C-alpha cells in the first residue's frame, strides 16, 4: 500500500506491518499514524542495530503489557542489520497472536533484489506493507502540504521543480523551512542553486564545459545523457547549468562566498566570475532557469532542442564577454 493510501484510508491493522520504501520522513509519519490508530495498546519501541540480541523483542511479543493485554511493538532500522541478524529478527514474526501488532521498519525499495530479501518480499499475504517511496507525485504533494504548514505560498513552477528533484524529503523540507523564513511567496528562482543542484556528474561536466567555452564538448555530454535518459535528461542538465551560473553570480557580489557542498569550488571559480561579471553571470543563470521552468511546466516539449539552443546562446554570449575583457 502506498504511503498516502495508508494515511487516507486508515485500514484495519494486522499483526504484522512492514514499513518499506526509501523516505525516513514518511516512515516517521506512518509510525505516528499507527500509534494513533492503536492508541491504548501497550507500546514498546526498539532500534534493531542497537540491540546485542533480540531477546527483549521476543519477550515483548510474548508478555502482556502492564496496562493493556494488547501490544504494539515497533522495531526501527532493520535495514541496517547484516544478513544473519536480519534472519534472526524475521524469525520472530512466526506465530504472532491476535493481541500483538509488530511493526518492522525495513527501508528498502519494495522490489529491490538483495540477499537476504527485504522483509516486505518475505511478508505473508495478510501482512500490511506501507511503501514510503517518493515519486514526483508524492514529492509534489509533500511540498504543497509542508508549504501550507509553514504558512507560505509556493508557485506551481517551484513545486514542479522540487517534485522532479532527487534529494531526500528531509533535505527538501530543510530547503522549504529556510525559504519560508521571510514569509514571501517561494518562486522558482528562489530554489537555485542549492535546491536545484543535479546529482548526475555528467550534468555538471556539461555545465562546466559551457562555462569554459567548450560548446562542442558540452553538447557531446548532453547528447550522451539524452541517449541514456531520454527526454528527462533536460532537467539535470539545465539544473546543473543554473547552479553553475548561480555560483558565479554569487562570487561577483561584494563579499560573495560559497557555502555548503560548493565551498571547495570557490577558489577555482573566482577568476571565471571576475571575467563574466555580475551581468554576464546573472544572464546565464536566468537563461538556464527559464529553460528549466519551460521543461518542468511543460511549455517546452522538446528538451533536447531546448538544451542545444541554450548551450549555443551561452557560448555566443561567453565569447562576446571574453572579447570585451
Residue ranges per domain, the chain?
3-131, 136-190, 201-324
pLDDT of residue 145: 94
Task: Please list, residue by residue across 6-27, b when 16 or more beta carbons sit within 10 angstroms of its beta carbon and e when fewer do.
Answer: beeeeeebbbbbbbbbbbbbbb
Same fold, 3-131 and 201-324: no
pLDDT of residue 303: 92
Average pLDDT over residues 44-55: 95
Q: Return the ∠ at Cα 162 (arms to 159 and 164), rounded to 5°.
A: 110
Q: What is the pTM of this model?
A: 0.67
Mean model confidence pLDDT for the chain:
88
Whether pLDDT at 307 is above 90: yes
Domain 3-131, CATH number (from 1.10.287.130, 3.40.630.30, 3.40.50.300, 1.10.357.10) = 3.40.50.300
Assign 63 to helix, strand or coil: coil
Q: How confident is the model at residue 166 (pLDDT cuts 50, 70, 90)?
A: low
List CB contacts of 185: < 8 A, sequence separation 6 or more.
152, 153, 154, 155
Which CATH number is associated with domain 201-324? 1.20.272.10
CB-count burial class (<10 Å; 0-12, 13-18, 19+) for 220: middle
Whether pLDDT at 18 is above 70: yes
Helical packing angle, 136-150 and 169-179, nearest 10°: 30
**What are the pLDDT digits (tens) for 175-208?**
788 778 778 888 876 775 555 555 668 888 999 9
Whether pLDDT at 310 is above 70: yes
Among 104, 154, 157, residue whose Cα is nearest residue 127: 104
Amino acid at each position: 500500500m502506498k504511503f498516502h493510501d495508508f494515511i487516507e484510508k486508515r485500514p484495519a491493522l494486522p499483526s504484522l506491518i512492514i514499513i518499506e520504501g526509501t523516505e525516513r520522513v514518511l516512515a516517521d509519519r506512518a509510525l505516528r499514524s499507527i500509534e494513533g490508530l492503536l492508541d491504548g495498546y501497550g507500546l514498546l519501541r526498539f532500534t534493531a542495530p542497537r540491540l546485542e540480541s533480540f531477546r527483549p523483542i521476543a519477550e515483548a511479543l510474548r508478555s502482556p503489557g502492564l496496562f493493556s493485554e494488547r501490544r504494539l511493538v515497533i522495531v526501527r532500522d532493520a535495514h541496517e542489520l547484516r544478513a544473519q541478524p536480519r534472519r534472526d529478527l524475521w524469525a520472530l514474526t512466526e506465530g504472532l497472536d491476535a493481541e500483538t501488532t509488530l511493526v518492522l521498519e525495513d527501508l528498502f525499495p519494495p522490489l529491490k533484489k538483495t540477499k537476504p530479501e527485504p522483509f516486505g518480499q518475505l511478508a505473508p499475504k495478510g501482512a500490511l506493507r506501507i511503501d514510503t517511496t517518493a515519486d514526483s507525485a508524492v514529492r509534489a504533494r509533500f511540498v504543497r502540504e509542508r508549504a501550507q504548514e509553514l504558512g507560505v505560498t509556493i508557485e506551481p513552477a517551484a513545486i514542479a521543480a522540487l517534485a522532479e528533484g532527487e534529494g531526500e524529503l528531509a533535505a527538501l523540507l530543510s530547503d522549504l523551512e529556510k525559504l519560508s523564513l521571510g514569509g514571501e511567496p517561494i518562486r522558482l528562482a528562489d530554489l537555485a542553486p542549492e535546491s536545484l543542484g543535479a546529482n548526475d556528474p555528467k550534468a555538471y561536466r556539461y555545465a562546466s564545459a559551457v562555462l569554459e567555452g567548450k560548446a562542442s564538448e558540452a553538447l557531446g555530454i548532453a547528447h550522451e545523457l539524452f541517449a541514456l535518459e531520454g527526454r528527462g535528461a533536460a532537467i539535470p542538465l539545465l539544473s546543473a547549468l543554473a547552479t553553475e551560473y548561480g555560483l558565479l553570480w554569487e562570487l561577483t557580489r561584494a563579499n560573495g562566498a560559497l557555502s555548503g557542498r560548493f565551498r571547495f569550488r570557490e577558489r577555482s571559480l573566482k577568476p571565471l566570475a571576475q571575467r563574466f561579471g555580475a551581468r554576464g553571470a546573472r544572464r546565464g543563470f536566468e537563461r538556464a532557469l527559464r529553460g528549466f521552468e519551460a521543461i518542468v511546466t511543460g511549455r517546452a516539449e522538446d528538451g533536447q532542442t531546448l538544451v542545444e539552443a541554450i548551450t549555443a546562446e551561452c557560448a555566443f554570449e561567453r565569447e562576446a564577454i571574453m572579447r570585451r575583457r
